[in-house]
Structure 1
């Protein structure tokens, strides 16, 4: 029997050949079943990893831009679509359709990422970003804008799932939190760019077409960059391309004095996990062949995700974090901040919205510096209460301001005699809320890939991301009606209640994942939530308080 070629797919159940390294040999290997490699060993080829992260992170820029751009667009369209002003229903549909189609795309993207690889899904997303932006820029009807935003939603859903998955599978464990946070930096940076461009074109006739059309440029740029990027080593091993995976790992750990040994250690960790998971599938399922093999694999993966205790706990944690991230109402600011500030009498609502986006970016940058040092769990436990208190203060202040109907063009200064400082108080409350959100809840849920073992990672991440977009859809569709029917005060009070419930969920079941290798997390959740064990491990690491 000849050793398989690196470019040929392998039988996942075929035995290792004599010349191949076996995971049950070489007892000197120090990995998941031996002493954990020290931090000094966990060195990475910094420039290579950051180049990969930057290139893949352009998806985050597109994600953020298309999230932020709608705020300025809604107040700039006027009667350009269907020859009439936009109604509340129009605004809600144009805004929420992106989230709805992102919800549809994210589970599908997870399946495609397992079948074809993470990199190819990012390429497809770039094509969809370009097409959606083009349709929005040239349409003259409300339905055309909805179609364009829906296509962008497909792109956002795929990119928001696969890009953090791609980065986390390439990143060394000691830097994984910071590298995935770079994606959040791109997202918030994209929102800042969207508000700046929205402000620059706000006084230009038909300027909203330029605002949405510019979204094509980074998508085209990323498409050609991603063509040169490697696939993740974990997907390559799962697909049977061990030699390619080893080469990628050698580049990841290229700055280590013995990069070859480090790459082999990580490689064997991945091989062991893949072998164990394939053995589980073989024992619990009959082998399937033919054109429906992929459907059988997805079904088996879904069964393991739900029926295996550790996988189920990982899914519950990921879904809880993603639902809390959206149902706390943050994206109501991203989508409707210009509308809100226009109603609050600010003369340049798009420019005021820019201050909120800048706060989001700066505190995401702060999270990048501290997330691995403070830890995911602690950073959430500290920041979520600040969010809740800010929303409660905002709700009380809104209760003192008589707000006009959102469809009305009359600003609050013409409709109420309230003191001028109340809108400023609301702005300060919202800014504090955004800062706390960006520091914690805006980043940590996107670390979701680290929760799942390799065989269910794509599907688990897909379902969690679908929860994010489903919740986002609810917020986008209901925010303006809630402002009308419940009042702004009760709307923000409801978002504060979500923060309170989310905090108790985090305190109860979310363990500390900082510094753990992806293969170690499976062991942590195997017999329980692992909260106390994770804290014990963190306290035992050198230099960690």
Structure 2
């Protein structure tokens, strides 16, 4: 926890934030340097969606086996789970700064491994390393920002991390699009991720440790020196006192509930207020994941191609709309969250998500029922170029249409002029 708990930003706080950072650019430097961890998180989320299109082109086994595609995508998430679980312990033992530096090193190694990968399993290994780095950074970056920011603008500073996450997703689509014609395509897309990690590593070397962590280690003079660079001269002692009181209360609570994991869990479940808060927090997080946004971000270009767009670069360009609106939504939420409240804004967002999912379901259902039939003569006339074995060996070719081909992972439907679309009436299947 930070002094007084985690404060979310309101309009007044953003005004104060602008005033404070104008007086002392050092504060913004702290926030943006640590916030690059959010950028790494967002970039990793978005970059694989475009890179996967070209990985499938380079490795036939990945193109033909969907479980390999799913593994390449999901191993980063698995690594992030482990990284986030270890991040808390690392933060307490090593400090926030060293933890971020270590996460950057792991992320850089993962990006390099993916960029030079000679086989799919090496890409998977790189994805695991990247996930570990992202998992650690995703929890450490906002923690460092909150502890190294003045209390009056803490919420506004922490909000920059969320903005950088969605900004990183949008940036990943732009970079994917930029490398569609470059030799190596997906290798550049994945390898470029090392650059922000290197940048954050260099910037963090010149920044101090979290003042709160230093105070807990008994380093009061170092804490005071750092606070003097963050706070106004007349606020330093007041913040020192607030930090002292907060940490003493925290240690007292730890003494009551115990220091072991078992004792802490027992205390959580026996406290009605904490238990209800835990239920609410877990429910919100689960619902957020089950709406499908991660699937959209990871497979957006693939989904666009399933809608009939064959070109990888065109699919990536259209996917920019999704990531761009995601970033815009983050900005809107930052502006409106304190005007309308957290609960109302969340419920309104869920209604919009529900409506969007219904529209998508109806659209794809209609496409399935009205997809044009496949012409046997047009398809089989391409001989060896027709690689959809499921179609050529089907007992009833007349019953097939474009959507069925997509479900069989044949690739796309196209007419004899190779104009790929779900709208052409005379089609063949190729991959």
Q: State the 1:83 CA deviation.
A: 6.6
CA gap of 1:232–1:326, structure 2 versus 1, over 3 A, is: same
- For the 8 Å contact 2:99–2:136, the answer to whether it is kept is yes
Distance 1:341 1:407 in 2: 15
Q: Which whole-Å deviations, capped at 9, do the CAs of 1:7-31 have from their partners, x for residues lacking one?
A: xxxxxxxxxxxxxxxxxxxxxxxx9
- 2:149 match: 171
Equivalent of residue 238 in structure 2, options 255, 258, 265: 265
* Number of residue pairs the alignment of both structures matches: 367
Question: Larger relative contact order (C-alpha < 8 A, sep ≥ 6)?
Answer: 1
Structure 1: stretches of 5+ with no match in the other structure: 1-30, 33-38, 286-295, 420-545
Change in 2 beyond 3 A, CA 1:172/1:144:
same
CA shift, 1:122, in A, is 0.7
CA change 1:129–1:84 in 2 (3 A) is: closer
373 and 283 in structure 1: CA distance in 2 versus 1, 3 angstrom threshold: closer
* Aligned-pair CA distance for 1:331: 1.2
The within-5 A match list for 1:110-129 is 110-129=88-107
Separation (CA, whole Å) in 1 of partners of 2:57 and 2:422: 27
2:166 aligned with 1:188, yes or no? yes
Where does residue 146 of structure 1 map in the other structure? 124
Distance 1:183 1:400 in 2: 40
Q: Which residue of 2 aligns with 1:106?
A: 84
- RMSD of the TM alignment (CA)? 2.8
Q: Secondary structure at the match of 1:78?
A: helix
* 2:382 is the counterpart of 1:382: no
Map 1:218-257; keep pairs closer than 5 Å: 218-254=196-232
Instruction: Specify the SS of the correspondent of 2:189.
Output: helix
Alignment of 1:347-366 (within 5 A): 347=311, 348-366=314-332
User: SS at 2:182's partner residue?
Assistant: coil
**Does the aligned pair in 2 maintain the 1:68–1:195 contact within 8 Å?**
yes
Structure with a larger share of its residues in helix: 2
Check the 8 A contact 1:43/1:253 in 2, yes or no.
Answer: no
Partner of 2:295: 332
| Number of the residue aligned with 2:193 | 215
1:336-360, Cα deviation, whole Å (9 max, x unpaired): 0000001112341011011211111
Query: Shift of residue 277 of structure 1?
Result: 3.0
Residues 62 and 120, structure 2, Cα contact 8 Å, conserved in 1:
no
What is the CA–CA distance in structure 2 between the aligned matches of 1:241 and 1:406, rounded to whole Å? 63
Q: 2: CA distance between counterparts of 1:228 and 1:117?
A: 15
Alpha-carbon separation, structure 1, partners of 2:142 and 2:413: 41
- Describe the superposition over 1:200-227 as per-residue Cα deviations: whole angstroms up to 9, x where unpaired: 2223342111111111111111101111
Normalized against structure 1, the TM-score is what?
A: 0.62
- Segments of 5+ residues of structure 2 without an aligned counterpart are 6-11, 369-402, 426-431
- Superposition TM-score, scaled by structure 2 size: 0.77
